[in-house]
Amino acid sequence: MRPFTALLPLLALPSLVLGAILPRTPLLDVCASIELNIFAELGLITDLLDLLNLGLPIGITGEIDVCLCLSALPLFLTANVDAAAAVSIAGDNAVTAVLEAINSISGGRKCQYPPHSESVCTSSTPCGWKCNAGYQQVGNQCVSSSPSGHVRARSLAAAPTCARAGEAVCGTANGKRQWECVNILSELESCGGCTFAPPFPELASTTALGTDCTTIPNVADVRCSIGACVVQKCNDGFVPSSDRTACVASTLAPAAGKHKGGKNAHGHHVVGDILGQMVGMVVGK
C-alpha cells in the first residue's frame, strides 16, 4: 500500500461528472452508465474498517457514478480521484479490467459518431454527441459552418469560429466589437464558458457564460479542468467540498498539541476524526 503522501497529488485531479464531454472520440465506441464502488469491485474492502485501513485521504471512498466510454478510459483513470486512488493501490491493469468488463457487459451500448464530432455521454443517452467547434449538425452529420471550410476573417458580417478543440468565440473587456478565441475547458477565469458574451447575435444566444474560478470564496488554489472549476486547496478553516467545486467550513476541531511543521499542519487528523468523516460519507450515500 502506498503511503498517504504518495496519494496527495491525486487530490489535484478532477472527478468526471455525469454528462461531461469526453475529449477522445473515435467513430466507434462502447459507452455505459456506471455506478459502483471500485474498491469493493477490486476486493479491497468489505466494510468501513477496510476503507479506513487503506489510509486514503478524506473524501476518497471509491464511489464512481459516471457515464463512461471505453475510448475515454485512459483519461478517466487519471482524471477521477477515486479511480486514480484505486490505480495507485491495485495497479492500472486491474482497474482497467474491472471497468472494461462492466462497461462492455452491464448496459454497454455500441456507439457510432459522425466525423467532426465529440461524444456527450449521459445516463439517458450514452451515445450522445455534438459537433466540434466550426461545424454544425445537419441531420446526423456535422458540416462546416463556414462556406470555405476554414475559419473566416474577423468580421461582424458573420459569426467566426475557432479552429482549436475546446475554444469558443468570446467577447473581450476592451469593447463590444472585439472578440477572441478562449479555451473554455482550461481557462481559469472563463471556465466552462465566456466571461464576456460574443458580439454576434447568433452566438450570444447559445454561448454559455463561464465561471471565474478565482472568485470562489475562501479558495487558495484552484484550476479549470474540462470546463469545471476544481478546488485544490482552501484557506485556513475551510476544506474542498466533496465535488471540489467550493470551499466549505471544516467540521474538524483542531487537534491538541498542534504545532508548526507537525503532521496536523499538513492536513492529518486523529483517527477518531477520520472515522467520523468516513461514517458520515458512507451513511449519506
Quote the pLDDT of residue 282: 40
Q: For residue 89, give the C-alpha cell.
A: 493501490
Say how many CA atoms lie within 13 Å of 144 toward its Cβ: 8
Say how far apart CA 45 and CA 143 lie, in whole Å.
Answer: 49
Quote the pLDDT of residue 235: 94
136 strand-pairing partners = 143
3-state helix, strand, coil in the chain (%, to 5): 25, 25, 45
Q: 211, 234 in Cβ contact below 8 A?
A: no
Report residues of the chain scoring pLDDT below 50.
1-26, 147-156, 253, 255-276, 278-285
**Residue 84: helix, strand or coil by DSSP?**
helix
Q: Is 95 exposed, middle or buried (0-12, 13-18, 19+ CB in 10 A)?
A: buried
Quote the pLDDT of residue 180: 85
* pTM confidence score: 0.42
146: left (phi over 0), alpha (psi -120 to 50) or beta: beta
Span 200-252, pLDDT tens digits: 888 877 888 888 899 999 999 999 988 889 999 999 999 999 888 999 998 76
Quote the pLDDT of residue 253: 47
Task: Tell me the residue ranges of DSSP E strands in the chain.
Answer: 28-37, 63-69, 109-112, 117-119, 129-131, 135-138, 141-144, 167-172, 175-183, 219-225, 228-234, 238-240, 247-249
Which of 103, 37, 19, 10 has its CA nearest to residue 281?
37
